[in-house]
Amino acid sequence: MILQALYALAQSEGLMEDPDFERKPVAWIVRVGKDGELLGIQGTHEISPEEQAKKNPKARPKRFKIPRQSPKRSGSKAPAEFLVDNALYVFGQDLREDPFSEADIRLRASWFREKVRKCAEETGDEGVSAVLALLESIAAGKERVILPKNCASNELFAFIYAEDVDRLVTDRQKVIEYWKRLRQQKPAESPSARCLVSGHLCVPTDTHPAIKGVPNANPAGSALVSFNTSAFESYGWSRNENAPVSREAAEACSTALNRLLDPAPQGSDGRALPRLHLRLSSDTVVCYWAPHAKSGDLLACLGALFEANPAEVGEVYRSLWRGKPPAIKDPSAFYALTLSGAQGRAIVRDWFESTVAEVADHLAQHFADLAIVRNTPKPKDHDLPPHIPLRALLRSLAPQGKDDAIPAPLAAELVDAALRGTPYPLSLLQRALERARAEIGEVDKAKTPLDRHRSLEARDARAALIKAVLNRRRQTTINYKEVTRDMDPTNNNPGYLLGRLMAVIERMQQAASPEVNTTVVDRFFCGASATPAVVFPRLLRNMRHHASKAKDDKRGAGTAKWLEGQADAIVSGLNGFPAFLPLEEQGLFVLGYHHQRHWLWMSKEAREKEQADQAEPAAARS
């Protein structure tokens, strides 16, 4: 089904209008004169509008339509490509750190030159003849080519005949016709199997084209379909005979997947296409598409929705952030493929099928589940994002927020649950609690405003994830009150109340000793959230001491008295201190602490307004 969906995407976007050619980045253009003289080498690198918006924009090679290249090229006998290749094959210059021997380098250059010679002899094309004359001069030592200083070993070189001005030699009519004849399957090859993708009788391809762009996979490309050992073969078939796919279908599927993984995809005619992938971690990416969608608006802004980027999300779909699906209903099929790279290979981590309309509904519920009050202060120069970005959610699960430490399985499962509308994995709750306990004191230890902002954002992100997991789990097996976005004074769950009490105790200590280095939260948060009966009696005794100290200062007397009232109201809702809290109630403890901490630092006017807003629905229900 994966290959059939990719094949449908290639057809719907016209990626295979000319199956003998493909669009690839060509970094360098070699200009050749009529008699084969080298007129110069110029780069095609340019900065796209998307890159210009970044702090450190990166120039990328321009894309050109070139003859379709080999499915996968590696090893000592890797063939040369036709008229477009890297410096090793074109000029006989190996730029790698571990170069081939001189004999091997000359051999590869001769392979490339021989392909050009055969084309020149059969077509008589003057552009190809000029390229051949240049290559022969280089081989004979008559012409010395000095490559650009910033040239990389894997970058492609293509040729332009001087009289064509800006048309590649591979775009000359005789060359196009020659290449198409060369690509035609031999008459002796009769169909021997039915293609699993198209359903047509075919000659199965020996090798599937390489997939590039999978993080942590082989940079040169990895095959999505391969049978590299006998353990994967059966019934006497060898290699890809076990899954017969025609060359045309294999090339269409790989072209579609490469387009999905491309950061700046283009159609076969060079038009820009929307980016349809989302990087989840250092080794995991999710691709999504709807080949027959009536409207591509949701697809085009899906990545921006997850990353909470309002500049790239249309007004119609901003309602998803408020938990309301748009009125547009599209029954077209929607697909999502999650890939990871490991040991140079591409691994299918998850496959998802649904409709565009269902995905929109599920996304609205996903954002509603994540909605929570934010303790992260608003920056001076811009507003906070309308939601916590996916990248911040995932970084909050990694030590010190490092991208390469984000658990790939959790990242994939989080996005999968968002798209499917299913419960989030319990492992997400476990990881969020683990990081919350480990990093609870990071905010106070922050040395710079940026570090403090990141620590607060990570706290908010973990609270949002915990809330989302708990609210979906209560719909299945767990019986407790739904957690709201803001503090809920009617939630009498012991874990939630104890978390609120922890925030009040912390605030009392701050009122008594504003300059204290180690707070009660730093020392006792882990124990209080796991074994309350052991920790809280001591914390309450200390709180009375802090209250007396705060009352000695006239400025803090009112605050201390108010906080004592808050603590008494919370304790009155408890039936003693539990010996331990199960996993879900530990999550509620974190949420109670998060909500109460936010509420305590609100202005008096804001608190009164929130209490009034909460009272209105209660009055309406009664």
For residue 264, tell me if it sits in a domain. Answer: no
Phi-psi region of 483 (alpha: psi -120 to 50; beta: other; left: phi over 0): beta
Instruction: Return the pLDDT at 58.
Output: 84
* Residue range 513-517: mean pLDDT, rounded: 81
The pLDDT of residue 212 is above 60: yes
* Residue range 556-570: mean pLDDT, rounded: 89
- C-alpha distances (whole Å) from 426 to each of 358, 414, 422, 423, 529 are 24, 11, 12, 9, 18
Query: Are residues 600 and 517 part of one domain?
Result: yes
**Which has more pLDDT, 613 or 356?**
356
For residue 423, tell me if it sits in a domain. Answer: yes
Phi-psi region of 429 (alpha: psi -120 to 50; beta: other; left: phi over 0): alpha
Could you tell me the residue range of the domain that residue 302 belongs to?
A: 280-473
**Confidence grade of residue 196 (pLDDT, cut at 50, 70, 90):** confident
* Residue range 78-93: mean pLDDT, rounded: 94
- The helix or strand, by DSSP H or E, that contains position 337, with its residue range, turns out to be strand 333-342
Query: Are residues 231 and 182 part of one domain?
Result: yes
pLDDT tens readout for residues 459-472 = 999 999 999 999 99
Q: Can you tell me the distance from the alpha carbon of 31 to that of 158, in angstroms, rounded to the nearest whole number? A: 9
- The helix or strand, by DSSP H or E, that contains position 51, with its residue range, turns out to be helix 49-52
For residue 297, tell me if it sits in a domain. Answer: yes
Q: Can you tell me the distance from the alpha carbon of 513 to that of 444, in angstroms, rounded to the nearest whole number? A: 14
**Which has more pLDDT, 516 or 343?**
516
For residue 446, tell me if it sits in a domain. Answer: yes
Q: Which residue type occupies 335? A: Y
For residue 483, tell me if it sits in a domain. Answer: no
Query: Are residues 9 and 149 part of one domain?
Result: yes
In sequence order, the 6+-apart residues with CB closer than 8 A to the CB of 370 are: 387, 388, 393, 464, 465, 467, 468
Q: Can you tell me the distance from the alpha carbon of 415 to that of 336, in angstroms, rounded to the nearest whole number? A: 10
**Confidence grade of residue 491 (pLDDT, cut at 50, 70, 90):** very high
Query: Are residues 326 and 243 part of one domain?
Result: no
pLDDT tens readout for residues 4-21 = 999 999 999 989 989 999
Q: State the pairing for strand pair 157-161/28-32.
A: parallel
Instruction: Return the pLDDT at 142.
Output: 92
Query: Are residues 380 and 247 part of one domain?
Result: no
Asked if residues 272 and 266 have their Cβ atoms less than 8 Å apart, the reply is yes
Query: Are residues 160 and 58 part of one domain?
Result: yes
With b for 16 or more beta-carbon neighbours within 10 A and e for fewer, the 169-205 pattern comes to bbbbebbbebbeeeeeeeeeeeeeeebbbbeeebbbb
The CB density around residue 606, as the number of other CB atoms within 10 Å, is 11
Query: Are residues 311 and 176 part of one domain?
Result: no
Query: Are residues 104 and 167 part of one domain?
Result: yes
Query: Are residues 123 and 196 part of one domain?
Result: yes
Query: Are residues 307 and 222 part of one domain?
Result: no
Structure tokens at 227: 């049978």
* Residue range 144-148: mean pLDDT, rounded: 92
pLDDT > 70: percent of the chain: 90
The pLDDT of residue 71 is above 90: no
Mean pLDDT (the chain) is: 87
E strands within 412-462? none
Instruction: Return the pLDDT at 516.
Output: 80
Structure tokens at 54: 């970044």
Total of domains in the chain: 3
Q: Can you tell me the distance from the alpha carbon of 460 to that of 618, in angstroms, rounded to the nearest whole number? A: 27
For residue 269, tell me if it sits in a domain. Answer: no
For residue 312, tell me if it sits in a domain. Answer: yes
For residue 267, tell me if it sits in a domain. Answer: no
Residue finishing a domain among 421, 439, 473: 473
Instruction: Return the pLDDT at 612.
Output: 64
**Confidence grade of residue 202 (pLDDT, cut at 50, 70, 90):** confident
* Residue range 214-221: mean pLDDT, rounded: 82
| 3-state SS assignment for residue 532 | helix
Asked if residues 439 and 458 have their Cβ atoms less than 8 Å apart, the reply is yes
Query: Are residues 311 and 247 part of one domain?
Result: no
Instruction: Return the pLDDT at 237.
Output: 60
Asked if residues 240 and 208 have their Cβ atoms less than 8 Å apart, the reply is yes
**Which has more pLDDT, 614 or 537?**
537
pTM: 0.85
* Residue range 537-566: mean pLDDT, rounded: 87
The pLDDT of residue 346 is above 70: yes
Query: Are residues 192 and 88 part of one domain?
Result: yes
In sequence order, the 6+-apart residues with CB closer than 8 A to the CB of 124 are: 174
Structure tokens at 143: 């012409």
> Phi/psi of residue 589, each to 5°?
-60, -45
Residue finishing a domain among 473, 508, 537: 473
Q: By mean pLDDT, which of 34-48, 239-253, 294-308, 520-534 is the weakest?
A: 239-253
